[in-house]
Amino acid sequence: MFKAPVSTLQLEIGFGGGEHLLHRATEAPRTGFIGVEPFVNGMAKMMTALGKAPLGNLRVYDDDATRLLDWLPEASLDGIDLLYPDPWPKKKHWKRRFVGVANLARFARVLKSNGRFRFASDIDSYVNWTLLACREHGAFAWQAEDAADWHQPYDGWPGTRYEAKAIREGRRPAYLTFIRK
Q: Catalogue the active-site residues.
A: 86
Q: Are strands 77-83 and 8-13 parallel, antiparallel or unpaired?
A: parallel
CA distance 69 to 149: 29
Closest listed residue to residue 67, CA positions, set 36, 25, 96, 100? 36
- In the beta sheet, which residues pair with residue 111? 77
**Which helix (DSSP H) or strand (DSSP E) does residue 160 occupy?**
none
CA distance 149 to 83: 17
Q: Are strands 111-121 and 174-180 parallel, antiparallel or unpaired?
A: antiparallel
> Residue 120 has what DSSP assignment?
E
CA distance 17 to 37: 9
